[in-house]
Amino acid sequence: MPTSQSSAGHLLELIRSGQATTRSELQTATGLSRSTVGMRLDQLFRAGWLRNTAGTSTGGRPSARLEFDVCHAAVLVVDLDTTHSRVAVTDLAGTILSERTEPLPVSEGPETVLETVASWMPGLLEATGTEAASVCGIGLSVPGPVDWETGMIIEPPIMPGWSRYPVRATLQEAFTRHMHVRSAPPVLLDNDANLMAYGEQRHHYPHCPALVLVKVSAGIGAGVILSGTPYRGIDGGVGDMGHIRLHDRDDALCTCGSYGCLAAVASGRAIAQELSRAGVPTASAAEAAAHLATGQPDAVRLTREAGQRTGEVLVTVVTFLNPAVLVIAGDMASTPFLTGVRELLYRRAMPRTTAHLTVTTSQLGDRAALMGAAAMVVEHLYSPEIADARLASAGP
């Protein structure tokens, strides 16, 4: 058996990362002989994971470049939110090939939601001419804490009935039934803020050593990317900043049952409640965002104030983590909210902490979680250890 540093999976990682993209560069990087490199590459070519591209010439015959073939398989990605659900097919670079969004709140429960999103998959695959056998994995984004090791959603405040539900097995069973196949690809799931942060980092800040994304919609959550990898904590609880208590709002009742949580004061749901009290009937965070989009004065004022309250908490987050990029995302991500965050952040944090900090809104918008979910699946399935196991199971 090859060591992990000389296996086909390791060579694939070098090629995908751009560290070595020719046979000679792979020999130099690994110390392997030409014949051994050729043998490893044959495994990857047989699997369909690599393709040759023309290299640049320096006067002689150009050397062929090795490239990860992002079209040899597809990923199904699912983004579950408080009011709607979205399913898409992507290639291995995260490019969305087909997509469907419908009103389908997570509050309808895991059986209904998972069965419904699985029923959309055959049509989406057919629209792209993708066979079920070409789907290498399914990525799922959920608005609650996820234990990465077990794939279980753990005590989510806004997902009744989902805690410790067998999401992976249920979605795989529904996939096989709707696609009329015998087996399903692996299912991976993570918290939506984590995946939104991952999507932003992979597609727009690939060299960023530390990125924080704050999602402000019905609730407030955050995702943290350190050295290109989501940091999840010991059981998926990282980033639950919506339930950090504010010192002066013991009157604000949160959906978690506690008083004074940031989400009870500064989330889209909280802004909607304040708008209704101000005489502007608003039933949800989405309606609050709609008022904001039209420039409704109370919506603008309350959103800016919500940004300030969120900025109070982010002073501690930014001081502790010292990230290079802070992204504001979700329904309430807007100029007023961003302005409020910046006002508090730059006023209260030490100048050194914010000197090299970029504070901005999401560039991927409502597709951030989908693209993060695709990246999660690809990075896992084509990591050296998992790639080698997949190649071994496929046989010669």
> Residue 138 and residue 128: Cα distance in Å, rounded?
16
Domain count, the chain: 3
Q: Are residues 235 and 178 in the same domain?
A: no
> Residue 79 and residue 140: Cα distance in Å, rounded?
6
Q: Are residues 355 and 321 in the same domain?
A: yes
Share of the chain above pLDDT 90, in %: 89
pLDDT tops 90 at residue 256: no
pLDDT tops 60 at residue 58: no
What's phi and psi for 227, nearest 5 deg? Answer: 55, 40
- Predicted model pTM: 0.93
What tokens appear for 122 in the block?
A: 């055959």
Question: Which CATH number does the domain housing residue 18 bear?
Answer: 1.10.10.10
pLDDT at 1: 40
DSSP 152-166: EE---TT-TT-TT--
Give 96: exposed, middle or buried? Use CB within 10 Å, 0-12, 13-18, 19+: middle
pLDDT tops 90 at residue 250: yes
Average pLDDT over residues 203-231: 95
Q: Are residues 341 and 272 in the same domain?
A: yes
The residue segments making up the domain with residue 183 are: 74-191+369-394
Look-up of token digits 């943290």: 224
Decide if 1 is inside a domain. Answer: no
What tokens appear for 215 in the block?
A: 């999602």
Average pLDDT over residues 185-213: 97
Name the average pLDDT for the chain. 94
pLDDT tops 50 at residue 3: no
What tokens appear for 76 in the block?
A: 């199904």
> Residue 384 and residue 386: Cα distance in Å, rounded?
6
Question: Residue 61: in which H helix or E strand, if any?
Answer: none
pLDDT at 327: 98
Q: What is the pLDDT of residues 127-141, one digit of tens each?
A: 999 999 999 999 999
Distances from the Cα of 328 to the Cα of 188, 258, 292, 336, angstroms: 25, 25, 16, 11
Distances from the Cα of 175 to the Cα of 161, 184, 239, 326, angstroms: 21, 6, 31, 37
Decide if 3 is inside a domain. Answer: no
Distances from the Cα of 365 to the Cα of 5, 91, 188, 308, 315, angstroms: 38, 19, 22, 22, 24
Decide if 30 is inside a domain. Answer: yes
pLDDT tops 60 at residue 369: yes
Q: Are residues 159 and 268 in the same domain?
A: no
Residues 6+ apart with CB under 8 A from 54: 62, 64, 65
Helix (H, G, I), strand (E, B) or coil at 377: helix
Q: What is the pLDDT of residues 40-55, one digit of tens each?
A: 999 999 999 999 987 6
Q: Which amino acid is at 69?
A: D
Decide if 2 is inside a domain. Answer: no
Q: What is the pLDDT of residues 281-307, one digit of tens each?
A: 999 999 999 999 999 999 999 999 999
